[in-house]
Every structure is written in C-alpha cells, then in structure tokens.
Amino acid sequence: MAAALRSLYFWILFILSFSTLALAQDQNQFIYNGFHEAKLHLGGIATIHPNGLLQLTNTSERQKGYAFYPSPIKFNTSSSQSLLFSTYFVFGMVPGSLNFSGHGMTFVISPSMDFSEATATAYLGLFNTSNNGLLTNHVLAVELDTVVSPEFKDLDGEHVGIDVNSLISNESALATYFSDSEGKNKSLKLVTGNQTQIWIDYNGAEKLLNVTLAPISVPKPSRPLLSTVIDLSQILLESMYVGFTASTGTIANDHYVLGWSFNRSGKADNLDVSKLPSLPPPPPLSIPSKKGRQIPDSMIIVLVVALSVVLLTIGGAVCIVRKKKYEEIYEGWEREYGPQRISYKNLYKATKGFKDKELIGEGGFGKVYRGVLSSSDQIAVKRVCHNSGQQAMKQFVAEVVSMGRLRHRNLVQLRGYCRRKGELLLVYDYMPNGSLDKVLYSNIRPNLNWFQRIRILRGVASGLLYLHEDWEQIVLHRDIKPGNILLDADLNGKLGDFGLARLYDHGSIPQTTNLVGTVGYLAPEFLRTGKATTSTDVFAFGVFMLEVACGRKPIEPAKVDLVDWVIDCWNKRAILDASDPRLEGLYVEEQLELVLKLGLFCSHPNPDTRPSMRQVMQYLDGDAKFDVSPNSNLLDAFRASYNEASNTVMPFASLFENSSSSHTMSTIDSILNGGR
C-alpha cells in the first residue's frame, strides 16, 4: 500500500515537473490580445482595465507607469549569431483635456523590473540623472517620445528612437511610416487617441535592429522606420525582463497598450485586432478661447484677397516707377553667403514697401515689419541702421550667418539678411501672436492661463540653455525680457533677438552708453563691470520668471520694485499673494511657488548663488527637487545672502556699488541642502 502511494506520488511529481518545463519553454514567447488574464508585473500608476486595456499613465503630472512580463526571458548571448527576438504591440496615446502631450513611453529589455529610482518627465521612467548613459545598465529601449528634450539631442517633433543604456538615442527618426500603396513616407501623429502598431525585430546574424511603425489600419510596411546595426550580444544579459515604461511631465497624456506579442525564437505572431480592447475617446477640450466674436472664414478670405490685390497692384506700380529703390550693397566677400542673402526687392515686396501698416514692432535695434513671401510663408523683417566700416561689417555678417545655423524650437529662426547703404535687414520667421509683453499686459480676458505661462517659461529656459550650453559656442542673449519673447500660433514662447547685442561690440550702432540690455533686468555685476556672462542672462531670466508669474514690470513708478515685493510677500509667508491677479487664482500652487522662489534665486545679486540654466531647467521639469515646502531655513538662507550681497536698505538702486561682497555664498545647492 505504502509502495503504491509512493509510486503515485512519484508520478504526480513527474507530471508536475514536466508541465512546468513545458511552461518554461513557452515563457520565451507569448501573445496577449488584450490583457484580461495577463499576470503582468505592474509598477507606478499602471493598471489593467476590466476590458483588458493596459494603462501605463493617466494625465496626472510627473508620474511613471510600468508593465513587465513577469518571468525573465532567456537570451542566448554566447554568440551574436544565435541572438534574435521579435515583438509586436499596439499602443495608443490619448491627449488630456488641455490637448497637451507628454512625455512618452518605451519598450524596454532590462535585467531588472525595478525602476522605482528612475525619473519621470524626459527620463521616460527609464533612467535618472545618475545612471543615464552608464554601460552597466544593460538596457535596450525603443522610445516613443512626444516631447522634444534638447538635453537628449531629441529630434524636433514626435519621434521614435533606439536607446542603448542612455536617453540619447543611437538612432532616431520623426514618427513616419512607409506607405507601400503610395510608395512614399507618410508622417504619423502619436498623441491622437488612435491606435498605432509597432514592430521591433532583431536578427543577430545580420546584427540589424529594425523598428517599424504604422497606423492600425495599415499592414506592416515593407521598409522599417529605423534599421540600425547593433550587436546586442554585447548589451543584453542571459536573463532579461521585457516590458514597457511611460512617464508624464508638467504636461501629460494617457499611455495605453492594447495587445502585445513577443517571440525569442521567430517572428512575433500578429495580434487579432478584432479582439483588442478599445481606447477611451479623448476628453472634450477645455482650452480657454482667445478670440471673442468670430468673423466668418469666407468673409476673412474675401477681405484678405481684396486687400492684397489692392496693395499688390499699388505696390507693383510703385516698384516700376521707382526701380532704384531696390539698390543694395553686395561685395565680393559675401559670395559665400549666397543662400543666406535675400534680395531687397523681395523684402520690399513682401512688406508692401515697408508700409507703416506692416510695422509690428520697434525696439532697441530698429523697426520690425511683417511680410509675406509666398501665400503661406510669413516673415518678419528687422531694419537696423549701421554706420560701421567694411571690416566690422564683414565680421558681423559672418556672425549673422552663423546665428542662422542655430536651430531650436524655442528660438525665433533667423532666415537670412540683406544689406543696403547705412542699413542692414534681418529676416526672421513671423510669429503670429506677437511679443509676450503685449499679451501679458493686455486686458483681454481670459489672459494667458497658468499652463500657458509655465509652458512659455519652460520653453524660453530651454532655448536659453541651448544658447548657453548646447551649441558649438556660447551665445549670450543679453536682453531677455517679455518684449523679446515671441509667441507662435500655439502660444509657445520663442526667444528673439539673440546674439544681436554683438552689434554694439562691433560699433555698428551709434551708442550713448556701453550698456546693452534693459534697466530692471541688468545684473549688478554687469552694471559694475560691463561684462556679460551666462550668469547675467540667468539674472534677467529670473526677473522675467517673476514678471510672468506676477504680471508686473520689474520697475514701476511709485511702486516697490518687483523683486523686493516678492521677497516681502515671502517674508510675510504669503508668497502666493504676489501672483498675477489676471490669473484669477487659477494656478497650481506648488508650480507658482517654485517659479517665484526660483525666480528670486536666479535674480540674486550674488552671481555665485544663481543656478545655471541647466539647473533651472531641471527644477522646472521637476527632474531635480527644489524645496518649496514651507521652510523657514530656505527663506533665512536666501535673506541672509541677499542682504549680505546688497548690504543696503534700498537694494535695487545701490546694488551696483555694493554687491562686491567678499563673503560669497556657495551655490544654490548648498543653500538648499543647508536649509533642510
């Protein structure tokens, strides 16, 4: 009897171990048409909905979400030949009610499922500041990134990238797919609420990693979007987890995965599209409208057409009669700048002869006109007077041309130039919403809302960081203020007039004073020494941040200066009282507090206490923590160093003589850490 029992027990054990073996083999391939019964390992705010939809993030700010296949996959890394895998999944990104999108998601192969230390926002929940780029990560990821992060050399738009151990992609491309039926590439929007499919195939024999993207209705394109040579046997370990990460920033969208198949020993099977769960529809938009009464489109078209016909006819007549108006100066040395040279005749026509009607601004450097080159191509033309000699002119033109090579979504693009006697014309992209000061101080309600303001601040910070650190040479702006921030059609902030301050250096502009810049935004040490640095730009940016948050000019007659006023509010433990009344109390408290305190540190009289633009960017993105909790020590530290640096009862007026305090506070970090 006992023997019979023992033998039964043996058989049961045998059968059990056999079936686990079979399962273990299956674990190298799987298919999920929806995730109803999937026992995925979830992390962050990821959840699986009852209909089988895997949601990685919602639209909450600065969140992370993870989902991993729970058992490790065995990769044969002993030789590169035998290593292959293939995966296919359908995902969806649904914008939030403000139609923002951020930050993106990844498919990841990693030695661990623990990403609790990774950072959200631009780090996509994959890495953090200290492990980004380390060879010891052994991480391969394919990123679907919807926000441009210049610090990771991102392409300018929604993009797909292959990332090895780092968020700086080995190879990336804007989201497009090859349409076999039309025989051409077509662009693809990711954050639409529509389903998108992606195939990731690796073949160790060719060492080729292919990534292919397509809308759900299109079969797998014959040409991949990315096809990169890479030896994964050097990167992957034998036992790896596969899954997804996603993150949101101060702007956010929902990230979903609908179905997923993975295969380590052959092509990943297709999903059964009919069985996939459906995506929730995008929420109704709640963007505050800028416009009041709408004029019917047809009427606008008729008006515009009529107006341009009349003006063009008159303009044309004028052109014929006064041909010599088009005279310009063109010298031999300019030949190499041919492509950047724009003829005066074209500019004259585009601006309808520099009519006052087309005048859109007047600044320190000259008048700015709006122009239309072709039906949809609008430009802004800046006329700058100059009286410099040939040598200085040569140098300046060389610089203008090099400024034209600066490319960043938060810089107003310089397109080219033209030269006439005593006059230089600079041609820029046209910004339909004009300069920020006009919008900020207008009485139109609703004014810029908080989300728009913080987006503008982040944008300008990112543009300035690019000028300071990410281009081949350091470019100082020297005149940051709302009047030099221009707004595009979507109210993104762009820095204008960068590099132009150099005109003064070349003596091109008759000058009454050595100082370039605007009173109220000038750092005390600049007023003392006349030497501009990245730190004097940070000072101006600090004042600018305060101005955008408070809706007040830095210096107004019969009013306490903006900086002092914000400090007063902080002293009274009511720093939020400084907020712009036009916001009508609608803001995110922590963000406003961060902007105000960070603005104060940036505009600190002691340059050593100011953060760098890179730090400012990290604080604004939430990638580094700026302590805004009610913390008396932070205030005390600020006050102590502030008083020491200014050493006077009337800070602003006397800053220039007195701020050379020998006792320097160390960097902002030590203040913050000391304040904890």
Ligand X SMILES: *[C@@H]1O[C@H](CO)[C@@H](O)[C@H](O)[C@H]1NC(C)=O
Identify the residue among 71, 227, 631, 661 touching ligand X (CB under 6 A).
Answer: 227
Q: Count CB atoms within 10 A of the CB of residue 586.
A: 12
Site for ligand X contains 122 (CB under 6 A): no
Identify the residue among 1, 4, 50, 117 touching ligand X (CB under 6 A).
Answer: 117
Give the pair of three-digit tokens for residue 405.
Answer: 């090579």
Whole-angstrom distance, CA of residue 564 vs CA of residue 651? 8
Closest approach, Cβ 433 to ligand X, in A, equals 15
SS3 for 445?
A: coil
Identify the residue among 33, 247, 263, 646 touching ligand X (CB under 6 A).
Answer: 263
Q: Count CB atoms within 10 A of the CB of residue 63.
A: 21
Q: Which residues contact 357 (CB under 8 A, 6 or more apart)?
A: none
Site for ligand X contains 78 (CB under 6 A): yes
Nearest to ligand X of 62, 383 (CB atom): 62
CB of 175 within 8 A of CB of 188? yes
Nearest to ligand X of 136, 662 (CB atom): 136
Closest approach, Cβ 516 to ligand X, in A, equals 36
Give the pair of three-digit tokens for residue 458.
Answer: 């982040």
Taking contact as CB under 6 A, which single stretch among the options 167-175, 526-534, 549-557, 616-624 is the one that binds ligand X? 167-175
CB of 598 within 8 A of CB of 612? no
Site for ligand X contains 208 (CB under 6 A): yes
Identify the residue among 40, 142, 167, 225 touching ligand X (CB under 6 A).
Answer: 225
The CA-atom distances, in angstroms, between 218 and each of 145, 186, 200, 213, 255 are 22, 12, 16, 10, 21
Whole-angstrom distance, CA of residue 340 vs CA of residue 398? 11
- Please indicate if the annotation marks 220 as binding a ligand: no
* 479 assigned to active site: yes
Identify the residue among 285, 300, 305, 385 touching ligand X (CB under 6 A).
Answer: 285
> Considering just the CA atoms, what is the radius of gyration of the chain in Å?
30
Identify the residue among 27, 80, 131, 413 touching ligand X (CB under 6 A).
Answer: 131
Whole-angstrom distance, CA of residue 276 vs CA of residue 272? 7
Q: Look at residues 33, 62, 28 and name the one whose alpha carbon lies nearest to residue 45.
A: 62
Nearest to ligand X of 79, 473 (CB atom): 79
Site for ligand X contains 239 (CB under 6 A): no
Nearest to ligand X of 85, 638 (CB atom): 85
Identify the residue among 203, 378, 643, 654 touching ligand X (CB under 6 A).
Answer: 203
Closest approach, Cβ 468 to ligand X, in A, equals 22
Taking contact as CB under 6 A, which single stretch among the options 195-203, 469-477, 528-536, 625-633 is the one that binds ligand X? 195-203
Binding residue count for ligand X, defined by CB under 6 A:
49
Whole-angstrom distance, CA of residue 523 vs CA of residue 541? 10
The CA-atom distances, in angstroms, between 617 and each of 14, 143, 151, 225, 460 are 61, 22, 10, 31, 10
Site for ligand X contains 164 (CB under 6 A): yes
Name which of residues 7 to 36 contact ligand X (CB under 6 A): 29-31
Whole-angstrom distance, CA of residue 82 vs CA of residue 75? 9
Site for ligand X contains 201 (CB under 6 A): yes
Nearest to ligand X of 128, 402 (CB atom): 128
Closest approach, Cβ 575 to ligand X, in A, equals 27
Torsion of CA 215, 216, 219, 224, to 10 degrees: 40
Identify the residue among 32, 34, 58, 479 touching ligand X (CB under 6 A).
Answer: 58
Residue with tokens 């990290």: 618
Residues in the chain: 676
Nearest to ligand X of 59, 508 (CB atom): 59
Nearest to ligand X of 259, 371 (CB atom): 259
Identify the residue among 80, 192, 388, 631 touching ligand X (CB under 6 A).
Answer: 192
Catalytic residue among 145, 479, 580, 623: 479
Closest approach, Cβ 619 to ligand X, in A, equals 14
Site for ligand X contains 230 (CB under 6 A): yes
Nearest to ligand X of 210, 603 (CB atom): 210
- C-alpha torsion sign, points 557, 559, 560, 561: negative
Site for ligand X contains 266 (CB under 6 A): yes
Residue with tokens 């006792």: 663
Site for ligand X contains 93 (CB under 6 A): no
Identify the residue among 71, 80, 170, 433 touching ligand X (CB under 6 A).
Answer: 170
Residue type, 427: V
Q: Which residues of 143-157 are buried (b: 16+ CB within 10 A; e: fewer)?
A: bbbbbbbbbbebeeb
Site for ligand X contains 261 (CB under 6 A): yes
Q: Count CB atoms within 10 A of the CB of residue 158.
A: 22
Site for ligand X contains 624 (CB under 6 A): no
Site for ligand X contains 233 (CB under 6 A): no
Residue with tokens 């040395």: 333
Whole-angstrom distance, CA of residue 170 vs CA of residue 211? 13
Taking contact as CB under 6 A, which single stretch among the options 52-60, 240-248, 302-310, 577-585 is the one that binds ligand X? 52-60
Strands, E assignment, 488-553: 493-495
613-621 and 450-465 helices cross at what angle (nearest 10)? 150
Site for ligand X contains 433 (CB under 6 A): no
Nearest to ligand X of 179, 346 (CB atom): 179
Closest approach, Cβ 285 to ligand X, in A, equals 5
Whole-angstrom distance, CA of residue 543 vs CA of residue 219? 54
Whole-angstrom distance, CA of residue 621 vs CA of residue 455? 10
Catalytic residues: 479
Q: Which residues are annotated as a binding site?
A: 382
Which residues make up the interface to ligand X (CB under 6 A)?
A: 29-31, 45, 58-60, 76, 78-79, 81-82, 99, 117, 128-131, 164, 166, 168, 170, 173, 176, 178, 184-185, 189, 192, 194, 201-203, 208, 210, 217, 223-225, 227, 230, 261, 263, 265-269, 285
